Amino acid sequence: MAKIMPLEECSIDNHIDDHVDQEIQDCFSIDAPKCFFVFAGAGSGKTRSLINTLTFLDKERGESLLMNGKQIAVITYTNAACDEISKRLQYKPIFSVSTIHSFLWDLIKSYQADIKEWVTRSVQKEIEDLKQKQLKGRGGKAGEKRAEEIKKKAERLAKIKTVKKFSYNPNGDNVGYDSLSHSEVVKMSTEFIATEPTMQDILAAKYPILLIDESQDTKKELVDALLIVCEKYKERFIVGMFGDTMQRIYNDGKDNLANCIPDEWVKPVKVMNHRSANRIVALANSIRSTVDGQKQQARSDAEKGIVRFFIASTSDDKEDVEKKVAELMARDTGDIGWNDDTQYKSLILEHHMAASRFGFSDLYMPLNNSGKFDTSLRDGSITELSILSKIVSPLVTAYQSGNDFEVAKIVRKNSPLLNKEAFASELSDQTKMLEKAEAAVEALMRLWADEKIPSCLEVLKSIRDTGLFKVGSRVDELLTGFSQGENEKVTALRNALSVPFYELEKYSSYVTDNTRFATHQGVKGLEFPRVMVIMDDAQARGFLFSYEKLFGAKAQSDIDVKNKREGKDTSITRTARLFYVACTRAQKSLAVVAYTENVKSVKDTALSNCWFSEDEIYML
């Protein structure tokens, strides 16, 4: 068996990557501007280089750009990342920091006539495609579903003609015939950028410099469109991409991005991992060797670090297994942080696995299974859930703890019973308003009397009936019984909100990252001292990733074999990348837990790939 090799410890230069920032800055030369792609593996200081670049640009070009009404655009993956970058840049107006969806919408939202024409064409094509499938396809439920889809799209097409202005919310639900979906905005705007000279002129003039964080997961349509604009406007449009192809974990990213970057682009490489202990960096390099062979080195002052691999049966009690794993990690590391489940991060494959473990499954599953909420379910922005978690839950906590000041503060800030209009209408006797608001709060809190736990629907009914808070028009539908032809979102929400209120609070803790759980995908860019990576294909129910295949417990599918032969992504390469991302979140110690029915194959693969040594493996 091959031996796991330690990282080189001699003559490590912790400043070996310092040249990268200078290479980036040289790309902004007025005489010879260059586009660039920065290869930056896990823990390499990618965000630091991005901030250093932006600080340099502010100093060198900021005043000139602002005077000419131009900005530097920064596109990153999440709202949290946008907030962090904006904060570090002191919210200076020279920078436009946004997510992909926000950036694209800001670019096209003023061109309502073009939007209307594109949406009309798009919906017409969707109807034609469905009609063709209906002619060729079988009847039964599939046929009925297609017929219903055709009817809905025809209704939308008729209503589109009356729309004066289309709306779009990059961060939540988009309901109504005048609203655009996330996919429509991406498809439409990238098509405009790729094919419309006017839009290309607008983009290059407004944002002569565009920097993209996490470029490996940036929508492939946008990457393709930007490559077209870069080629056309070489002298006055600079695109800089920061990323790591090994950390591409979403399917809508560009395949083989590194190979698509033009030869004339500058391509600096960062080789340090400033985050993780030696042993964790060595593991990351071993995982990576199965995909692209790139290697990193740990800092000269990095800890030795500890990794352990735990193999358990799929039928075992997961909670007991993971508790035992934490106990063994505490023993092997001598780190009491593993004895406290708030001090380590458990990374699961799917959100519903966290829902099951943390106790909000009955709320989560109806919404997840409906397939109608997607991003808003994962980030907590569904309107009714947001009201309950951000306003009602803090109010209940404040009331039950006797904090009258906080109760008053929440009600004054959020209740229409105490807004300016209400005060204006009761100028003669404002005590009536206060009494009405107080009575509404008391009516709400009676739902918890005698240690009762109300359902989320009961809470919504109370605040709707008293007018304590605005709940939105959909609540009326939620509180009536199921009706034939009802909107699928309403049905799913009613089922989800029938749960006890404490499930909503658990869900809220999870989506605001106040639990020990997170998904393998959701922690990209983050780091934690102690990490437990949980690999459980049986619970994950997905098909894009398969740890069982990666660890040799299951054979490759015919599709995987075909894709590998054609140089395309397979479930094994996707899973290897995900495994790399999850493991490289750990700074000091890492526990990897595999649930399988093929224990021997999993262990043999772990050893033969040199991912773990015999003394690092536990059979549970």
Q: How many CA atoms lie within 13 A of 169 on its CB side?
A: 11
DSSP structural state of residue 219: B
pLDDT band for 9, please (50, 70, 90 cuts).
Answer: very low
d(CA 287, CA 584): 10
CA distance 373 to 493: 10
What is the DSSP-derived secondary structure letter of residue 89?
Answer: T
| Whole-number pLDDT of residue 192 | 93
Amino acid 139: pLDDT: 67
What's the confidence (pLDDT) of residue 21? 92
pLDDT (0 to 100) of residue 1: 41
Other CB atoms within 10 Å distance of the CB of residue 139: 10
Residue 41 marked ligand-binding: yes
What mean pLDDT is predicted for residues 497-523? Answer: 84
pLDDT of residue 620: 85
pLDDT at 10 over 60: no
Q: Any known ligand binding at 43?
A: yes
3-state secondary structure 284-339: HHHHHHCCCCCCCEECCCCCCCEEEEEEEECCCCHHHHHHHHHHHHHHHHCCHHHH
Q: What is the mean pLDDT of residues 460-469?
A: 89
Q: What is the pTM of this model?
A: 0.79
Summarize the confidence of residues 151-177 as an average pLDDT: 79
Cα separations (Å) of 46 from 160, 173, 473? 44, 32, 44
Of 235-249, 330-344, 441-455, 555-569, the range with the lowest mean pLDDT is 555-569
Comparing 135 with 611, the larger pLDDT belongs to 611
- SS3 at position 487: coil
47 among the known binding-site residues?
Answer: yes
> What percent of the chain clears pLDDT 70, i.e. is strictly above it?
92
- Rounded Cα distance between 240 and 27, Å, is 9
At 228, phi and psi to the nearest 5?
-65, -45
Query: What is the rounded average pLDDT for all residues in the chain?
Result: 85
317, pLDDT greater than 90: no
Strand order in the sheet with 72-76: 95-99, 72-76, 209-212, 238-243, 36-40, 269-270
Report percent pLDDT > 90 for the chain.
Answer: 35
Q: What six digits make up the tokens of 379? A: 């980030």
DSSP readout, 119-181?
A: HHHHHHHHHHHHHHHHHHS--HHHHHHHHHHHHHHHHHHHHHTT-SS-B--TTS---STTBPP
Q: What are the tokens at 550?
A: 């990666």
CB 540 within 8 A of CB 574: no
What's the CA gap between 30 and 520, in Å, rounded? 42
Average the pLDDT over 437-457 and give the result: 90
Residue 283 confidence (pLDDT): 94
Q: What is the pLDDT of residue 260?
A: 82
Q: Express each pLDDT in 217-235 by its tens digit.
A: 788 888 889 999 999 998 8
**What is the full DSSP assignment across 591-614?**
EEEEEES-HHHHHHHHHHTTSS-G
Q: Identify the helix (H) or strand (E) that includes residue 347.
A: strand 345-348
DSSP 201: H
46 labelled binding-site residue: yes
Higher pLDDT pick, 257 / 306 = 306
Stretch 184-212: mean pLDDT, rounded? 92
Residue 398 phi/psi, 5-degree rounding, is: -65, -45
Spatial distance between the Cα atoms of 589 and 558, rounded to a whole number of angstroms: 37
Q: Is 40 annotated as a binding residue?
A: yes
pLDDT, mean of residues 513-538: 82
Name the least confident of 131-145, 381-395, 403-417.
Answer: 131-145
Task: Tell me whether residue 466 is annotated as binding.
Answer: no
